[in-house]
Structures are given as C-alpha cells and as structure tokens.
Amino acid sequence: MAGLFSRGAAAPVWVAEMEENRQRWFAFIEKLEARMDGLCTAALPELQQVLAEDEDAYKRTFLRMLAGIKGQLENIREKIREVGEEKVRDFFSCHIDEAWGSDDLRQRLYAFREVCTGRENAFEERHAAWLARLEKTGKRDLEAEYRSILDEHAALRDSFCCRQCGAPVVVDKLYFITSYLVCSHCRTQNTFEPGSKARGLEGLARELAEARTEHLLAASEAERQRDQDLYLKIHENRARAADSPATAASRKAQNEVWQKERAATVLNAHAAYETYLRAMFDEWNSIVPDLAEHNERFYQRMLEDYRRSR
Amino acid sequence: MFKKLLNSVLGGLEEVKDQVSRQVAPPAPASAPRYEPEPEPEAPEVEFDPETLHGTHYSIEEFDAAVEYKVQAWIAQEAAEGTTLGQKDVDNLYFNFRRDVYRAWTGADNDQMIQWELANSMLHRGTATSGFTKDDPESPLLQPIHGLSLKDYAAITLKISQGVDVGAICQAMGIEPAIWEECNVLWCKRMQEDASFTVQTLFGQYFSEGVSHPKLAALQAGGASAGNANLERLRSDRYFYEELCGARQAAYEYGLDGAQWILENFAISLGDFQAVAMEHLTLQNQNWNSEEMTRYMDYQQEKQKEYAAKFAAEQGGNIADDVTF
C-alpha cells in the first residue's frame, strides 16, 4: 500500500502487526467455521434419529445431545470472542490515540476494526443459522401427538366399566387428570385414570394452539419488519447529501410518505398481533375447554401486558 | 450419545498444517491494573425506614408529589412541542424521576437505590419481588384450592422434586391423588393469570421453606439429601453454591444431565438445590450488593470453565481445541 504517509515518514511498527492480525483473524475464523460446519452437518441426521428413538416422554436423551452440540458451538464462539477482544478491540484501543494524528493511520485502524468486526458478524450469522437448523430437529409433530391422545382416549373411553356393577360408564369428555365418574346404573363413584398420553394434553395444548395460529403471528411480524425497513429507508434518505434543493425537497417529500406508511404499518402490526392472540386462545380453549375460564383470565392479562408495552 | 458423535467428528478431521505461528499471546498478568472510580463524596447521614427503605426525614406522600410534579411538567413540555407520550413513555418517566428524587433526597448510592426499588416493586411497577412479597389473605389468587394453600402446594412440589412418592405425600396431606392433580393444574393457572407475579414469587419463597412443612417434613426419598453435609454447605457457603451452579451448567453444555450429575457426585437433589437457590436469591434481594454479586458471577464463570475443561478431557477434547490464532 503506497502513499500512505504524506511526509514520507515510516509507518509505525504496529501497522504491520495490524495487517498480520487481520490475516490471521480471517484464517482463524475460517478454520473455526469449518469445524462448526463439520460438527453440525454430522449432527443433524444423528439428532433426528435420536429424537425418533427417544422413548422418554420429555425427550431428554435428544435434549442432552442437542445441549452438548450447542455447547461445542458456544465453545467456538467464546474462542472467537476472546481472541477478538485481544487482537481486534484491545488492539484498536491501544493504538487509536497515536493514530489520531494521521488521517491515513486513523482510517486504516478504523477500517481494520470494521472489517474484522464484519468478519465476526458473518460468523455469528452463520452460527445463528446452524442453531436454527439444530433446534428444528426437535420440532415435534404436534397434530400427530394430539391425534394419538385422542386415539388413546377413545380406546379407554370405550372400555371403561363400573367397578361395582360392570356396566359401561360414560366418559363424557377428554379428561387429562384423574377424575371421578358416577355409574348411571348403580351410582358408584369410579376413578377414571387418563392414559399417559392424555396426561400431557395440558402441556401440549398451548404449543398446538400456537402452531395452528402461527400464520397470524407471522402476519404481525411481517408488519413489524415492514416498519423496520421503512425506518431504514428514511434514515438512509436523510443521511445522503442532496446535490440540489430540488433533490432535497423530493427526498423530504418521500420521507413524509414513508412516515405515514410507518404509522399505518405500526397500527396494522398491533391489530394483527391482537388478532393472533385472540385466535390462539380460542384454539387453546377448543383443545382444553375445561380450562377456558382460567385461560380467558390469562388472555386478558397477556392483552393488557401487550398494550402496556407497545 | 453426544460423546460418540463428538469423537467421530474429531477422529475424522484431517491433520491441517497450520502455517501461522501457534504461539498464543501470554495471558494478562494476574495483577493487571483495574480502573478504580473516584470515591463518591460522603453523603449526609440518612435514616431509612426498614420496610419501605425511604428516608425517614420526608413522607412518602411528599416524595410521590415531587415525582408527580416532575412527570406532569415533562408531559406538558412534550405536549407543547407537539408530542403525545404513550403509556410506555409515561411509565419510563415515573421510573427515572423516582430514581432522581430518591437519590437527591437521600444521597443513596446505586445499591441502596436498587434495593429500594426492589422493596417497592409492587407499588411502583405492580410486580412482586422475592424477599419483599407478603401473603394477602384477601387476594382471590391466593385462596386455597380444595383446601391446599400455596404454601402446601410449594411444599408438595418440593417433596416430589426430592423423589418422594406422590401417593405417600397425598396420604400425609390427607388428600386424594385426584385432588392433588387438579390443584397442580389450577395453581399453575393462577400463576398464568397473575400479572403481578405474586403467586409465582410467593411460591418460590415457600418452596425454599418447604422442608419445614409440619405434615411433610418427615417424608424422605431414598438416598435423601436432608442432613447431607453438602446440602448444608450449599446453604451456608455461597461460593460452594456458585461452584456447583457453574459445574451443573458445564455438565449440560457437555451433553450430561447436570442435575443428575450433582445428585451422583454430591447427593443433592434438584429440588433441594433449587430450594437453596431461592434462599440465596431472596437474601441477595434483601441485601443488594452489586460488588458482591459481580464477585459471585465471576467465580461461577471461573468454576464453569474449570469443570468444562474436566468434562472436555473426559470426552476427548473440544471440536476446535487445536485451532489457535
């Protein structure tokens, strides 16, 4: 790199070190990314297999394996963070005072920090993408689980008889906890024990309701994203220097249009979220109608919390 | 299962010639200089009410009036400039002006101020804080369910988490298992409905007290941790507690069941561990000391790293141990 120092002065020693740091930093992250990619590529099919074979109701074997893999990714992240602290951020802090006296040195030092931080950010994005894929291996087929609860319940319901007289006892709904049912023939109180799958109904219900209404939540998030995009467009428009009064006026007018769009988008996002919330609770109540009264109070609480926070 | 996968990936890696020097920069010296802020000027002697932690030289009404004045003045100024504030903005104004007035009137440092906020969290924000939350016999959310109070519920939950048989617990409490199952669902529903977190917070406080429930104290699981020297140490030695927190987290990050590891190596059940965790949290809230908390956090992280190295060694190392800058 020629012509950096206007008076022909020799570059400080740390400039060479800075360039070496940059090269080594890129090579370092590249190697760690390769390890991360290798581990995750091998892990994905293994995780799916472990999940399929895990007979534990809480899938703890799968979860432990997933935790171990995530632990390795965290180990890699921590390595990058520690080296970045020393070789990029501390390096910058140590030399910025000295660099301040020279435009070239200052620009190079800032560029060094920016490009190294950019590389670290690219790693973080790659890490986040792998994390999302790993988490997805644990995605359950909630509808299938719900159907198996219904099937199990149907079998039990059709075979439940009075312990006293042997007559069939009507099981009028999907019980998920031990319940007392009275025989219509001899009035004996019978204890109905739900199946092991049905006992998990309350735990499954909310997740299933959320899954059934996730398209509504996505609609709300799409509006929020649109708001973010408009905000960035307005910001970029303001940041660019206008080459004439006409251009400045045109940009200002454009920004006003975008601001109005933002205001409408924000209202849409709020309305869409409240629509989602209501729909989710309606689904939840349809799965476990016995808890509807309690769920309605929970819904009110969530709605008030949301309105207070926006 | 995780160890097998890790070893297969490590064993399959090719030897890569690292052309960059493998020398790692030496660690910072143990006695590296730290930035020490200038000591704050000594505040005048102020007495604090033991319950509200307000200064005793003013009334709470005077305090609230001063805060209200500042908040309304700000709102009016914003309105004059054409800005209408939302509820979140107004809440933030109250939060910040309360802090300003409290510090100005009492000379309180940061720790004192935070402890005051915790003591008044229900009044200021409508949320409960462990160590400052009282039971309210009139609250509909705290009424017993089928005769089981929140205290009973917390004690039963503790015993279950210690491994005591549910049937034995129900017998000791004089309830049918069906009643217990319904209570277990409905107390959780109360927590969901409660925007103030009072039910949840009191549950946590009672959970840590559950060992002494009159009907359940005698019930123990096989291999019980009650009377265990490690459990007593966990309770009395905060650094030991932080060490085991770090160890447990490290275990999880290496694919182990952290709670099971603690049980196998220290004979402390998850229930007992969490009961002690609640004790420490409550004490911490009641004696807020940010320097001490930082020391505990640093110690926990240091121990987590030590145990992580131990677990890594048992599994043949980490996936990227050989990659250096």
Strand pairing partners for A191? A180
Residues 20-39 of A with CB under 8 A from B: 24-25, 27-28, 31-32, 35-36, 38-39
Chain A positions touching B256 (Cβ under 8 A) are 64, 68
In this structure, are A26 and A132 located in the same domain?
A: yes
Q: What type of residue sits at position A244?
A: S
pLDDT computed for residue B42 by the predictor: 64
Residue A295 lies in a domain: yes
Mean pLDDT of B154-175: 94
Give residue A101's pLDDT: 87
Q: How far is B172 from chain A (nearest CA, A)?
A: 19
- Mean pLDDT over the full length of chain B: 89
Q: Is A134 within 8 Å of A34 (Cβ atoms)?
A: no
**Is A127 part of any domain?**
yes
Residue B22 has pLDDT above 50, yes or no: no
Q: What is the 3-state secondary structure (H, E, C) of B201-229?
A: HHHHHHHHHHHHCCCCCCCCCCCCCCCCH
Tell me which of A139, A158, A187 is where a domain ends: A139
Query: Which of A25, A64, A79 is the closest to B255 by Cβ?
Result: A64
A175 with A277, same domain: the answer is no
Cβ within 8 Å of A, B 280-309: 308
ipTM score for this prediction: 0.83
- Token pair, residue B309, equals 């190295």
Q: Which helix (H) or strand (E) holds A192?
A: strand A189-192
Closest chain A residue to B177, measured at CA: A178
Whether residue B257 and residue A291 make contact (CB cut-off 8 A), yes or no, is: no
Three-class SS of residue B3? helix
The verdict on A252 and A268 lying in the same domain is yes
* Distance from the B46 Cα atom to the nearest Cα atom in chain A, whole angstroms: 36
Tell me if A207 is assigned to some domain. Answer: no
| Angle at B30 (CA atoms; ends B26, B34), nearest 5 degrees | 110
Residue B30 pLDDT > 70? no
DSSP reduced 3-state for A41: helix
Residue-level pLDDT at B166: 94
Can you read off the two tokens belonging to residue A140? 């359950």
pLDDT at B6 over 80: no
The first and second tokens of residue B51, run together, are 């319950």
Residue B121 scores a pLDDT above 90:
yes
Q: What is the pLDDT of residue B34?
A: 65
d(CA B320, CA A73): 9
- Supply the mean pLDDT for chain A: 93
8 A C-beta contact, residue A44 and residue A36: no
Give the domain extent around A292. Answer: 213-309
Instruction: State mean pLDDT over B78-100.
Output: 93
Check residue B18 and give its pLDDT: 38
Concatenating the DSSP letter of every residue in B41-107 gives: PPPPP--B-TTT--BTTS-HHHHHHHHHHHHHHHHHHHHHTT-PPPHHHHHHHHHHHHHHHHHHHH-
Handedness of CA A128, A133, A138, A143 (dihedral sign): positive
Residue A121 neighbours by CB under 8 Å, 6+ apart:
none
Share of chain A above pLDDT 90, in %: 85
Asked which of A109-123, A146-160, B4-18, B74-88 is least confident by mean pLDDT, the reply is: B4-18
Residue A284 falls within a domain, yes or no? yes
How many angstroms separate the most distant Cα atoms in chain B?
Answer: 74
Check whether B23 has a pLDDT greater than 50.
Answer: no
CB A80 within 8 A of CB A36: no
Among B13, B183, B253, most A C-beta atoms within 10 A, so best to mutate, is B253
Instruction: Count Cα neighbours of A186 within 13 Å in the Cβ-side half-sphere.
Output: 11
Residues A97 and A133 in one domain: yes
Across the range B120-146, mean pLDDT stands at: 95
- Contact B185/A202, CB-based, under 8 Å? yes
Q: Identify whether A2 is part of a domain.
A: no
| Residues within 8 A of B (CB atoms), A 194-213 only | 202
Which residue reads 């950096």 in tokens? Answer: A4
A39, A76, A305 member nearest B9 (Cβ): A39
Give pLDDT, residue B26: 39
pLDDT at A107 (0 to 100): 94
| The pLDDT value given to residue A241 | 79
Using the predicted structure, report yes or no on whether residue B28 has a pLDDT greater than 50.
no
> Could you report the per-residue pLDDT of A113-140, keeping only the tens digit for each?
999 999 999 999 999 999 999 999 999 8
Shortest Cα distance from A120 to chain B (angstroms)?
14
Domain ranges of chain B: 60-108, 140-212, 229-314
Is the confidence at residue B149, as pLDDT, over 50? yes
Q: How confident is the model at residue A55 (pLDDT cuts 50, 70, 90)?
A: confident
Question: What was the pLDDT predicted at A240?
Answer: 84
Same domain, A244 and A156: no
Looking at the complex, does the CB of residue B313 fall below 8 Å from at least one CB of chain A? no
Question: Which pTM does this prediction carry?
Answer: 0.83
Q: How many domains does chain A have?
A: 3
pLDDT digits (tens, 9 = 90+) for A243-282: 888 988 999 899 999 999 999 999 999 999 999 999 999 9
pLDDT digits (tens, 9 = 90+) for B273-283: 999 999 999 99
A128 shares a domain with A44: yes
Does residue A102 share a domain with residue A149? no
> 3-class DSSP state for residue B128?
coil
Chain B partners within 8 Å of A71 (Cβ): 252-255
Domain-embedded: residue A147: yes
CA-based end-to-end distance of chain A: 52
pLDDT classification of A8: cutoffs 50, 70, 90: low
Q: Which chain B residues are closer than 8 Å to A305 by Cβ?
A: 195
Confidence of residue A93 (pLDDT cuts 50, 70, 90): very high
Nearest CB partner across the interface for B1, out of A50, A180, A304? A50
Q: What is the mean pLDDT of residues A95-107?
A: 91
Q: What is the pLDDT of residues A219-238, one digit of tens each?
A: 999 999 999 999 999 999 88
